Amino acid sequence: MLITLIRREILDNLMTFRFAAAVFITLLLVIATTVVLIKDYERRLADYNTAVKTHHQQSLEKKTYSDGIFNVDRPPNPLSLFNVGLDKQLGNQVEVYHGFVPTLWDAQMHGSDNPIMNIFSSIDIVFIFEVVLSLLALIFAYDALAGERERGTLRLVLTHAVSRGYILLAKYVSAMMCLLVPLLISMLLAVMLLTTSTSFSLNADDFLRIAGIIFTSIVYLSVFYLIGMLISAMTRRTATALMLSMFVWGFLVLVYPNVILAALTPHDTPETRTASTFSQIEQLWEEFDREHKQYLKNDAVPGESPGFNMGWVGSSTRRFTKNAATLKYSYQNTFRIEKLNERSEPKVPHVQSYYQFLVPLTLNTANQTWLLRKPALEEIFVKPALVDRILLKLSPVGMYDAATQAWAGTDLFGIEDFFSAAQRYRQTVIDYFYDKKAFASRQWFAADKGAVDWSTLPQFFFQKSDVGINAKRALPDVSLLLTINVVLFVVIFLIFVKSEV
Amino acid sequence: MIWHIAKRELYDNLNSLRFALATMLLLGLMLTNAITHLREHPERVQKYRDAVAKHQSLLTSHAENSLYELAQQGPGRLYKQPSPLRFCAEGGETFLSDHAEGGYHRWSTDTLKSFWILVYPSVTPNVDNVHPEVTKVDWSFIIGYVLSLIALLFTFDSISSERERGTLRLTLANSIPRHTVLIGKFLGALISINIPFILAVLVNLLVISTSSNVHLGTEAWERLGIIFIIAILYMCLFLVLGLLVSARVQRSAVSLVILLLVWVTFVVFMPGTLASIAGGSASSGPTRGFYEYSWQVHNELSAQYRSRRRNASENSTQKVQSAGEYVIKDAEQQERLHEERLKQRIDQVNRARIITRLSPVTIAQHLLESFAATGFERHLQFLENVQSYARQFRVFIADSDKADPESLHILGVRAGMSEKPVSPEAVPKFEDALNLSKDFNIAATELMLLMLFVVVLMSGAYLAFVRAEV
């Protein structure tokens, strides 16, 4: 019986104009967007490759250990095609050196991006589904029950010994099958276009992630179909159901996500928190500066000059960099002697012991700064952003967006993964220095007796998080969407069972 | 007769569910908009005033030191005045920098210091924003997206449903010309949408203008009037589109499906897709490459200068002369480089903006931005103001140098310039002026384009309805 019902419904749906229009418009939009986005991705990838190449070249040219400041680059995420998230917006290059723990807030933009181009909104495939599929689902659903009731066919069906639950189920299954056609075909075509483009190298994990995105899309689609059905079950006339569905759609998709943040969250940063943490960090570095000066005063060479009055040719920088807004405070001390005056040669052991004192002190202070900075950054920047995201999740659109971002790895956590990798790389560099006993070596500051050979230093490599982790991050939102599905279905069932025909 | 039909339509609409829902939606949105503006605008103005005052005091201290110092340090940061009408169109202001750097120093040696140049910030101020990206609820969003959708929902069944019910045949049986019916229906829909819209706009403006924190001047009200007219025009576009499709299609449901899909394609997707297509076509060259090139140019010039100094046996005045020439030429070169890069970027954006005009919502948004004095066109005007101020400032420096008899009148070096302090009041002040007639000129093309769209669709609807079978 169920099969007969489903077959009838499917045939009914397939022959309609709306089905043809749905397939056509989804395919058109998805293909056009995919082609544009693939071009965009290729451009970003080319930028990334040039940046990596130049940075590698630059790192080979560093002649002394103290010069060892490396730029690491964040590759563009190929899955940003599906949901761009924060992938394009946040910085994609950060400096790694021993005296500073890099974070997202110290990153910069490499590449040829024209900053003014940001005034245009960017789109992605998930956005198309977010807007078009939900609309289509409502268009398919609004007359599912109200229409049959109006035409009187519902009464006819119920004269047979068919339970009402079966009718609902048949309608739901058949409409979902029809809606899946445009979704699956367009996704398939998008993935096909991706695989034919040479610049994309998708591995098995990426396909699993895409599967996750498709699954989430189906669940999202089903939520909107059920919303439409609920409206249809509650109203007597199709015209009312249609109007109500359109306004509900407009509210959930168009209005709510934009209004809620403007209305509820006051975007003032906790300034006292920033100021107090920054003054603590400043104290750390003042202490550092004191110890540094103390050492210079007490060592065997007269004077407080960190250059030790040597005669040399080369370059050096000594500077503190600070930014109170992002709590950045760092110390750079690079020294590169290309040629040393003969007379200054006896001073070299002093300089060696100076750096043997200074570098561990810098390291230590940088690590202590990080201990203060990490929780403060979490509180000042990450927490309000997470609150915003939770507010957005009160609409299914927000949940869908968050879940697909998590699958694609373009959410905040996905981006932070890169910066943890950069932090780990800093540790690698430090370990490498300890390994080579670099701080006490002459090559820390002088390249006159041969430049540093960096060939044994491990290269920076960023591995995207495991697909399991993506799934874990997406799970809360996906399960929430599933719960909404079940709740809606139960409510529709209750209303439909009790309603008069 | 037209009025009769319009009145009937109006009564029909006033009792409908969509009228109630549209009123609630528009009121809610406009109120949110007003409240957000009241919260954010005073902060913005305060920030602007503080920044201007800070840089004014820097300028004063340079002027009180000496003319040379003032000339070398430049006028400092020049800030863009925030528009009081930002609630009408946000215009991507968060992605545009709010200042230009009128004093950017690259190098100094023991004897020479680089002269100030005009520089434009090269990154977006938004680079470490981890908040989820949402559209600002401004008038351009409410009008561009929500109002257009509502307009379609009001007209999608205006002809097709009468045909379905058979009342259209009845109406036309009386000797009423078809265009009268069409215009009557159009007017009825226009008036019935305008009731909630005007109500919402009035509530919005009431909230904003009664607050003591935000002050709207006469010019602002003029601009608001123009913005309102544009909104009506844009609304007409969608009403007519609804009528057109409704006249051609037999069933209302089909008409709605077509209209929604057209709306989604043109309003939601076209702007983003077209911009990506246009933006991907050209890139302005990597930032680092630019700085490397700029240093290379500078190094060439400084090598020239050094070799000249080594070879020539010049007296002290000539030495000062050549040093001054070197410093000034370097500044000119660098400023030109920055200007060229800016021009390249602006050209790219302009190309993208022209292409996105295929979508009516972008036209409306551009228009609203122009008249709300926000967004890209406004930024261009600001840059123009900055450049003309820079010229004015340079003329002032040259003139006051000439007025000092002790000076050698060689710009660029301390030895060649007046060392006397300058009265800070005499230094020209940067004023970022808004100009309504200029905005109007810029917007004229787009206004015409919008009207053209309306007229074309209107005649399309007329033709469709005249030839349609009842």
Q: Which residues pair with A333 in a beta bridge?
A: A318
Nearest-Cα residue of chain A relative to residue B365: A120
Do the Cβ atoms of B322 and B308 come closer than 8 Å?
yes
pTM for this structure? 0.89
**Between A and B, how many residue pairs show a Cβ–Cβ distance under 8 A?**
200
3-state secondary structure of A93: strand
In a domain, B145, yes or no: yes
Q: Does A263 touch chain B (CB under 8 A)?
A: yes
Nearest-Cα residue of chain B relative to residue A248: B21
Are the Cβ atoms of A109 and B127 closer than 8 angstroms? Answer: yes
Q: Chain B closest CA to A43's CA: distance in Å?
A: 8
Residue A361 token pair: 């002190």
- With residue A254 as reference, give the H or E element that holds it: none
What percentage of chain B has pLDDT greater than the value 90? 27
Select from A91, A119, A388 the Cβ nearest to the Cβ of B132: A388
Nearest-Cα residue of chain B relative to residue A88: B127
Q: Chain A closest CA to B218's CA: distance in Å?
A: 28
Residues of B in contact with A21 (CB under 8 A): 257-258, 261
pLDDT for A417 equals 92
Are the Cβ atoms of A18 and B253 closer than 8 angstroms? Answer: yes
DSSP A130: I
In a domain, B341, yes or no: no
Query: Nearest to residue A106, comparing CAs of A428, A464, A373, A462?
Result: A373
Select from A18, A51, A121 the Cβ nearest to the Cβ of B272: A121
Q: What is the mean pLDDT of residues B194-222?
A: 90
Query: Cα–Cα distance between A328 and A321 in angstroms, integer?
Result: 7
pLDDT for A404 equals 94
Q: What is the mean pLDDT of residues B253-267?
A: 89
pLDDT for B282 equals 53
In a domain, B414, yes or no: no
Are the Cβ atoms of B157 and A243 closer than 8 angstroms? Answer: no
- DSSP conformation letters of A412-423: HHHHHHHHHHHH
Which residue type sits at B75? P
3-state secondary structure of A446: strand
Are the Cβ atoms of A139 and B131 closer than 8 angstroms? Answer: no
Residues of A in contact with B36 (CB under 8 A): 262-263
Give the residue, B145 or A454, on which the prediction is more confident.
Answer: B145
Angle subtended at Cα B290 by Cα B286 and Cα B293, rounded to the nearest 5 degrees: 135
Are the Cβ atoms of B32 and A266 closer than 8 angstroms? Answer: no
Of A18-32, B51-65, B96-110, B340-354, minimum mean pLDDT range: B96-110
Residues of B in contact with A135 (CB under 8 A): 260, 264
Nearest-Cα residue of chain B relative to residue A391: B132
pLDDT for B212 equals 78
Average per-residue pLDDT for chain B: 86
pLDDT for B124 equals 64
Query: Cα–Cα distance between A49 and A59 in angstroms, integer?
Result: 15
Tell me how crowded residue B303 is: count the other CB atoms within 10 A of its CB: 10
Q: Which residues pair with A337 in a beta bridge?
A: A314, A446
Tokens 């470490």 identify what position? B128
Nearest-Cα residue of chain B relative to residue A46: B286
Within 8 A by CB and 6+ apart from A133, the residues are A26, A179, A182, A183, A217, A220, A221, A224
Whether B451 shows a pLDDT value over 90: the answer reads yes
Residues of B in contact with A251 (CB under 8 A): 25
Which residue segment(s) compose the domain that B274 sits in?
Answer: 1-124+137-278+359-383+419-470
Q: Chain B closest CA to A440's CA: distance in Å?
A: 33
Q: Chain A closest CA to B412's CA: distance in Å?
A: 28
Nearest-Cα residue of chain A relative to residue B275: A120
Total domains in the fold of chain B: 1
Q: How confident is the model at residue B90 (pLDDT cuts 50, 70, 90)?
A: confident
Select from B128, B376, B379 the Cβ nearest to the Cβ of A326: B128
Q: What are phi and psi of A376, to 5 degrees?
A: -65, -45
Are the Cβ atoms of A263 and B95 closer than 8 angstroms? Answer: no
Select from A243, A255, A267 the Cβ nearest to the Cβ of B18: A243
Q: How confident is the model at residue B359 (pLDDT cuts 50, 70, 90)?
A: confident
pLDDT for A336 equals 85
Query: Nearest to residue A52, comparing CAs of B291, B286, B290, B124?
Result: B286
Query: Nearest to residue B83, comparing CAs of B37, B119, B127?
Result: B37
Chain B contact probe: residue of A54, A116, A264 with most B CBs at under 10 A: A116
Give the residue, B257 or B110, on which the prediction is more confident.
Answer: B257
Condensed to tens digits (0 to 9), the pLDDT of residues B401-412 reads 888 888 888 887
Within 8 A by CB and 6+ apart from A189, the residues are A27, A30, A31, A34
Are the Cβ atoms of B286 and A47 closer than 8 angstroms? Answer: yes
Are the Cβ atoms of A120 and B283 closer than 8 angstroms? Answer: no
- Reported ipTM: 0.85
In a domain, B210, yes or no: yes
Q: Does A121 touch chain B (CB under 8 A)?
A: yes
pLDDT for B403 equals 85
- DSSP conformation letters of B199-244: HHHHHHHHHHHHSSS----HHHHHHHHHHHHHHHHHHHHHHHHHHH
In a domain, B102, yes or no: yes
Nearest-Cα residue of chain B relative to residue A242: B253
Do the Cβ atoms of B105 and B385 come closer than 8 Å?
no
3-state secondary structure B4-30: HHHHHHHHHHHCCHHHHHHHHHHHHHH
- DSSP conformation letters of A165-193: HHHHHHHHHHHHHHHHHHHHHHHHHHHHH
A79 phi-psi bin (left φ>0, alpha ψ -120 to 50, beta other) = alpha
3-state secondary structure of A338: strand
Are the Cβ atoms of A50 and B286 closer than 8 angstroms? Answer: yes
Q: Does A31 touch chain B (CB under 8 A)?
A: no
Positive or negative torsion for Cα A301, A304, A308, A311: negative
- Residue A353 burial (C-beta neighbours within 10 Å; 0-12, 13-18, 19+): middle
Tokens 């820390």 identify what position? A444
In a domain, B308, yes or no: no
In a domain, B326, yes or no: no
Condensed to tens digits (0 to 9), the pLDDT of residues B74-87 reads 888 899 988 888 89
Query: Nearest to residue B382, comparing CAs of B373, B372, B391, B395?
Result: B373
Query: Cα–Cα distance between A302 and A305 in angstroms, integer?
Result: 8
Q: Chain B closest CA to A431's CA: distance in Å?
A: 30
Q: What is the mean pLDDT of residues B149-154?
A: 93
Positive or negative torsion for Cα A78, A79, A82, A83: negative
Are the Cβ atoms of A104 and B35 closer than 8 angstroms? Answer: no
Whether B128 shows a pLDDT value over 80: the answer reads no
Condensed to tens digits (0 to 9), the pLDDT of residues B310-334 reads 877 667 778 888 888 888 888 888 8
Q: Chain B closest CA to A464's CA: distance in Å?
A: 19
pLDDT for B166 equals 85
Do the Cβ atoms of A129 and A82 come closer than 8 Å?
no
Q: Does A219 touch chain B (CB under 8 A)?
A: no
Are the Cβ atoms of A91 and B127 closer than 8 angstroms? Answer: yes
| pLDDT tens digit at each of 501 positions of chain A | 788 888 888 888 888 888 888 899 899 989 988 988 888 888 888 888 888 888 888 888 888 888 888 889 999 999 999 998 888 888 888 989 888 899 988 888 775 567 777 777 778 899 989 988 899 899 989 888 888 888 888 888 888 878 888 888 989 999 999 999 999 999 999 999 998 888 788 888 899 999 999 999 999 999 999 999 999 999 888 888 988 999 999 999 988 888 887 777 665 667 788 889 999 999 999 999 999 888 888 877 766 666 677 778 888 888 888 888 888 898 888 888 888 888 888 888 888 888 888 889 999 999 999 999 999 988 888 888 888 888 888 889 999 999 999 999 999 999 999 999 999 999 999 999 998 888 888 888 888 877 888 888 888 888 888 899 999 999 999 999 999 999 999 999 999 888 876
Give the residue, A157 or B60, on which the prediction is more confident.
Answer: B60
Residues of B in contact with A104 (CB under 8 A): 128, 130
Are the Cβ atoms of A128 and B269 closer than 8 angstroms? Answer: yes
Q: How confident is the model at residue B281 (pLDDT cuts 50, 70, 90)?
A: low
Are the Cβ atoms of A43 and B283 closer than 8 angstroms? Answer: yes
Q: Chain A closest CA to B401's CA: distance in Å?
A: 37
Within 8 A by CB and 6+ apart from A63, the residues are A336, A338, A447, A451, A452
Are the Cβ atoms of B287 and A109 closer than 8 angstroms? Answer: yes
In a domain, B237, yes or no: yes
pLDDT for B308 equals 84
Are the Cβ atoms of A247 and B129 closer than 8 angstroms? Answer: no
Query: Cα–Cα distance between A404 and A473 in angstroms, integer?
Result: 10
